[in-house]
A and B are shown apart, each in its own frame.
Chain A
Amino acid sequence: MTKLMIKEREVVVPGDIIAEGMNYLPSTGTYRQGQHIMASRMGIMRLEGKVVKIIPLAGKYLPRRGDVIIGKIIDVNIMAWRVETNSAYSAMLSVKDGTSSFVRRGADLTRIYAIGDYIITKIINVTSQKLVDLTMRGPGLKKLDGGRIIKVTPTKVPRIIGKEGSMVVMIKSLTNCDIMVGQNGIVWIKGEPKDEILAVETIRKIEDESHVSGLTDKIKNFLESAKR
């Protein structure tokens, strides 16, 4: 006998029995114990065919290869920068990957990125011990000038970006702000101060209501009524 003990899109708590029997497959955020599939994280249960998974509602960012993140320069070494990634691990950006221009040996690296600068960067490698390497080579990767930085829950970043970027594109056009969302939950917003505040408010709203369906329309209404 196989049955689901919890309806799809419901909130689960670690240790909840999600399904009984062998007809379902455990995926992220779940594990199998005997005949049961159990939750190992707090989140929303999702069913994809026979695969059971959990969309986490909270949790720190874990660096992953290929992610585009926003980082902060926290230290400068002889041939590299150390970058804070809003996770448990800081990352390394070497001169080779940090800039395409020629850097003489012993040159002052703070002329390129100084301590405290924010950069939008890409993770090229993560080792088993979570040593993270970054690169600035790639479209859109650059130092961020001006604007403001806010932090959001990393698990909610996909909702802020929306399907194929639909949500962030909408917020950009309705608030006239330039917005960058890093996978690590750091968001950079630049525009007129009044617009920046509206953009921050909108992002906070998405964060609070991330598990509600029909969110894009709701946010659109919110922005349009706020502009009036």
Chain B
Amino acid sequence: MAYKKRSDGRKFDELRPIEAKLGVIARADGSAYFKIGNTEAYAAVYGPRDLYPRFLQNPEKGVLRCSYGMMAFAGSGDRVRPGPSRRSTEISTVTQRALSPVIDLDEFPNAVVDVYIQLSQTDAGSRCAGICAASMALADAGIVMKDMVAAVAVGKIDKTMIVDLDYEEEAFEGEVADIPIAIIPSSGEYTLLQMDGRIEKEDLMKALELGKEVCKKIVKIQRETIRENFKRSEK
């Protein structure tokens, strides 16, 4: 049973349709919305601001704190219990590590930048959508950062390399490798690399290269969205 055609008719290296917006949450210092296929993420950034409890403070530079969560109705039908879980705690941590390398908080000792990510709909790839939204929201908040971060899942179903898996593909009966990655486009560094399933070394390298290419498309959309947001207000 070889995987010859994708369930939604996409090409193997084609992303799902992307929609992005900036400044969706008025009260936040920066915010963004990022939708890829049926996965829909909101990110809000607050800060730099006071950090309490005090033992979390770092006197050398500011701290980035991320929180990932799915809304109660976001899954595939079962109610998602809100609040921290093993899964959301892990994703919060990897999101924080994916974003930290680009942001510069040296000017803000003892302070914190809070990033809140919530998903109102999920169809696989939610941590990647969350990272994409968060990086746009951080730029919107005026945080000093050396580049944007783009994230996508790559993988292998049977013998076929594919990008941006949806839930149906992730749950494919057979051999599946699902590899979410995040990339700093200007340097090509990977800031997130996780995997579900198994894959050969050569194929993994191929998958990463493929991911790098499609991340360029994502980061282009991120940049254009931010630019458009200000061109509109110029009129």
A100 interface residue, CB < 8 Å from B? no
CB <8 Å contact, B142 and A42: yes
Determine if B168 is an interface residue (Cβ-Cβ < 8 Å). Answer: no
| Interface residue? A81 (CB, 8 A) | no
B164 at the interface (CB under 8 A from A): no
Q: A40-B145, A58-B30 are in contact. Are A11 and B108 (CB under 8 A)?
A: no
A59 with B185, Cβ < 8 A, contacts A11-B227, A88-B47, A88-B49 known: no
Which residues on the B side are within 8 Å of A129 (C-beta)?
A: 59, 109-110
A interface residues, how many (CB within 8 angstroms): 32
Chain A residue with Cβ nearest B140: A58
Residue of B nearest to A87 (CB): B48
Q: Does residue B213 face the partner (Cβ distance < 8 Å to A)?
A: no
B148 touches A14 (CB 8 A): yes
Is the Cβ of A60 less than 8 Å from the Cβ of B233?
Answer: no
* Partner of A57 from B48, B142, B187 at Cβ < 8 Å: B142
Known interface pairs A33-B186, A88-B111, A209-B233; A58-B29 also in contact (CB < 8 Å): yes
CB-defined contacts of A15 to chain B, threshold 8 Å = 145-148, 184-186, 219, 223
Q: Which of A11, A128, A155, A208 contacts B226 (CB 8 A)?
A: A11
Q: Does B74 have its Cβ within 8 Å of any Cβ on chain A?
A: no
Residues in chain B near residue A11, CB distance under 8 A? 226-227, 230-231
A155–B109 Cα distance when bound, in Å, is: 21
Q: Does B107 contact A (CB under 8 A)?
A: yes
Interchain CB contact under 8 A, A38 and B186: yes
Q: Closest Cβ of chain A: how far from B234's Cβ, in Å?
A: 6
**Hey, which chain B residues are within 8 Å of A40, CB to CB?**
104, 144-146
Confirm or deny: A89 has a beta carbon within 8 angstroms of a beta carbon on chain B.
yes
CB within 8 Å of B: which A175-210 residues? 208-209
Q: Which residues 64-122 of B sit at the A interface, judged by CB distance below 8 A?
A: 102, 104, 107-111
Name A60's contact: one of B29, B59, B102, B223 (CB within 8 Å). Answer: B29
CB-CB under 8 A from A58, the residues of chain B are: 29-30, 140-142
Decide: A57 near B230, CB < 8 A? Known: A15-B185, A42-B140.
yes
Tell me the complex Cα distance, A42–B227, Å.
9
In the complex, are the beta carbons of B107 and A62 less than 8 A apart? yes
- Please give, as numbers and ranges, the residues of chain B lying within 8 Å of A20 by CB-CB distance: none
CB pair B139–A42 under 8 Å, yes or no, is: yes
Is B50 among interface residues, defined by CB-CB distance under 8 A? yes
* B contact residues around A87 at 8 Å (CB): 48
**Would you give the shortest CB distance from A200 to chain B, in whole angstroms?**
17
Report if B25 contacts A (CB, 8 A). no
Contact present for B145 and A211 (CB under 8 Å): no
In the assembled complex, A24 has its CB within 8 A of some CB on chain B: no
- A155's contact among B142, B144, B146, by CB below 8 Å, is which? B142
Question: Do A212 and B142 form a contact, CB below 8 Å, given A14-B147, A58-B30?
Answer: no
Does any Cβ of B come within 8 Å of A31's Cβ? yes
* With known contacts A14-B146, A129-B59, A42–B226 Cβ distance under 8 A: yes
Contact across chains for A88 and B50 when beta carbons are under 8 A apart: yes
Given the interface pairs A89-B111, A130-B108, the reply to whether A59 lies near B142 with Cβ below 8 Å is yes
> Digit string of B180-206 for contact with A (CB within 8 Å is 1, else 0)?
000011110000000000000000000
Q: Which residue of B lies closest to A84 (CB)?
A: B50
Complex: how many Å from CA A39 to CA B49? 24
In the assembled complex, B218 has its CB within 8 A of some CB on chain A: no
Smallest CB–CB gap between B90 and chain A, Å? 27
Task: Point out the residues of chain B lying under 8 angstroms from A90, CB to CB.
Answer: 50
CB neighbours (8 Å) of B223 from chain A are: 13, 15-16
Give the chain B neighbours of A89 by CB distance below 8 A: 50, 110-111
**Residue contacts A-B, CB under 8 angstroms, 13 given:** A13-B222, A13-B226, A14-B102, A33-B146, A41-B144, A58-B30, A59-B141, A60-B47, A60-B142, A62-B107, A89-B50, A89-B110, A212-B234
A-side residues, CB < 8 A to B, are 11, 13-17, 29, 31, 33, 38, 40-43, 56-60, 62, 87-90, 128-130, 155, 208-209, 211-212
> Which 5 A-B residue pairs are closest in the complex by CB-CB distance?
A59-B142, A15-B147, A58-B142, A88-B111, A88-B48
